[in-house]
Chains A and B, each alone.
Chain A
Amino acid sequence: MIQVMNGFDWRRWRLVLTGGTIIGIILICAIFAPWIAPYSPYDLDVVAMLQPPSAAHPLGTDELGRDILSRIIHAARISMQVAFIAASVGLVFGTLIGVVAAYFGGIVDLVLMRLMELLFSFPAILLAVVLMASLGTSILNAMIAIGIVFIPGFSRLARAATVVVLREQYVESARAIGMGHGRIVFREILPNILAPLLVEAAVAFSYAILLESALSFLGLGAQPPEPSWGNMLNTGRGFMAQAPWLSIVPGAAIFLSVLGFNLIGDGLRDLLDPHMKE
């Protein structure tokens, strides 16, 4: 999709590379968690409760004596899973709805987009909480709920981009050749609206992590003792004065991953912007 350039231009890629490095490290932690983590995330150690960072526990221990570094590394799994699945749900269904609405227009467009506006009118976190309440509390439902929150945004973006592409003569040419709807959508439209959607997906990743953390914080996401950055933050809240590292560490993890995805999103936006091409 992206034009291959002669000579690698570091300056153009620096945002994507920085963000990619951060996310890459987090991904590696998530995938290889059992091998990287020094301890089990579940092992209690009553002798070593609420210990500050030390040689044995680089990021300290929590109120049950569990190693925070190990828990943070394991929690990356859930956060990354949520980010990818939720953003994918939003991307796939949002794009589908947006493209269909723009392509067929008329009453289809009217009905689909009013439905999207209905979803849009709820605050994201409220919608996610309502969906969780009706779907039941589990991490998979959290992913789906967050994904549904993303659908209206993606659908609007996809619809707007499709409307622009439909005015291009190559779509008319495709019709004149006798191309069917499916081929027109997949060959002519999708490749040409992908750039803004990918940028939005990167932003959705970071937002998914925040939403999952918020849901876990409210007790609706990952269930203890399973670690997630959100529920670790929630636990840390009670020990803010005695053991601030309990809150600072998951907070920093959320901050870094959100930063990483946002850098990728910003970088992609600049890279894929046709006006920025040489």
Chain B
Amino acid sequence: MSRDKIVLDGLSKVFQQRRFFRASDGLVAVSDVSLSVPSGQTLGIVGESGSGKSTLLRMILGLIRPTSGTILIDGQDVARMPRHDEKDFRRKVQPIFQNPASSFNPRQTIGAILRAPLEVHGIGDRHSRRDRVVALLEQVGLPADYAKRHPHQLSGGQKQRVAIARAVILKPSIVLADEPTSALDVSVQAQILDLFRRTREEMGLTSIFVSHNLAVIRQVSDTVAVMRLGRVVEAGRVDDIFSNPQNEYTRALIDAVPDHAAVINRPERIATT
């Protein structure tokens, strides 16, 4: 058993709703969450809207500071990271966001979007960057000439392919996915999930996959944490949780899944467009 890559300990986030000259009571988005993800595994986080899933991810990404608790990635505390370590951290941890419509700058071409991480980190020259973008487009199943297109010329599924490409272009070891398939049609969802799993295996990624869709979580995760109102109500191995849920809320969630959701559980690959 490899040691844990991501360790969350007593993590909380309270949003202060500032009013003019007075602070109101805070909104508790995440409360005392302790989880860990072993290297190379995927943790699924499931919960309804507003359960704090996305806030949790953004804290791990270092985009917002936790109110209390610690996030250790490879043993390093994310919130108390010295500035010069931040670039390394950024290369190591990459997100895939939920909404394909807003996760790309509409004024830039796909090529420019994919090159940006390489430019920011000063990796390669113009030539090697272009080659890398083309190779990556191919890897996610898109033709090379898509580099010249703008985001609005792509379908939702194609955009999520680009999102996956952007997430892995820096060769990170951790990918955090925030509902990457929730805005897609069911058939496209299956393709993107398949791509996600394949990429994860090829690159040996550790990942956290957030979704409100139990079927999706079951398909991609090794372990799962069920969140409700900012707290983890139950966590464990996927098979255990799904076959023998201990918590009332988890049971309700699982019972609420309609049978036809099994359709997207089909393991076979669907030809990509």
Contact = CB atoms under 8 A, between A and B. Distances in A.
A177 B99 contact: no
Contacts of A168: 102-103
Dominant SS among interface residues on chain B: loop
Q: For this complex, into which size category does the number of interface residues on chain B fall?
A: 20 to 34
B74 interface: no
Contacts of B90: 176-178
B245 interface: no
Contacts of B97: 169, 172-173
B105 A191 contact: yes
B114 to A, nearest CB: 11
Interface residues of A, number: 19
Given A183-B120, A187-B116, A176 B95 contact: yes
Contacts of A183: 120
B38 interface: no
Contacts of A85: none
Contacts of A13: none
B116 A176 contact: no
A188 B103 CA distance: 11
A208 B31 CA distance: 56
Contacts of B58: 172
A173 B91 contact: no
Nearest to A176: B95
Interface string B82-110: 00001100110111011100111111100
Given A176-B95, A177-B117, A187-B116, A192 B106 contact: yes
A24 B48 CA distance: 59
Contacts of A180: 120
A179 interface: yes
A145 B87 CA distance: 44
A231 B123 CA distance: 60
Interface in B241-272: none
A192 B105 contact: yes
A173 B87 contact: no
A178 B91 contact: yes
A118 interface: no
Interface in A121-162: none
A263 to B, nearest CB: 26
Given A168-B102, A187-B105, A191-B107, A173 B95 contact: yes
Contacts of A191: 105, 107-108
A10 B15 CA distance: 52
A165 to B, nearest CB: 9
A175 B91 CA distance: 12
A169 B102 contact: yes
Contacts of B11: none
Contacts of B117: 177-178
A1 B105 CA distance: 12
A1 B107 CA distance: 7
A191 B108 CA distance: 9
Interface in B159-217: 166, 170
B133 interface: no
Interface string B116-132: 11001100000000000
Contacts of B87: 178
A177 B120 contact: yes
A3 B151 CA distance: 12
A208 B171 CA distance: 53
Given A183-B120, A188-B105, 18 more contacts: A3-B150, A168-B103, A170-B102, A170-B103, A172-B63, A173-B104, A173-B166, A174-B116, A176-B93, A177-B116, A177-B117, A177-B166, A178-B86, A178-B90, A178-B117, A178-B121, A187-B116, A192-B107
Nearest 8 A-B pairs (CB), nearest first?
A178-B90, A169-B103, A191-B107, A169-B97, A177-B117, A170-B105, A168-B102, A169-B102
29 contacts: A1-B107, A3-B150, A168-B103, A169-B99, A169-B103, A170-B103, A170-B104, A172-B58, A172-B63, A172-B97, A173-B97, A173-B103, A173-B104, A175-B63, A176-B61, A176-B63, A176-B94, A177-B94, A177-B116, A177-B166, A178-B87, A178-B91, A178-B121, A179-B116, A180-B120, A183-B120, A187-B108, A191-B105, A192-B107
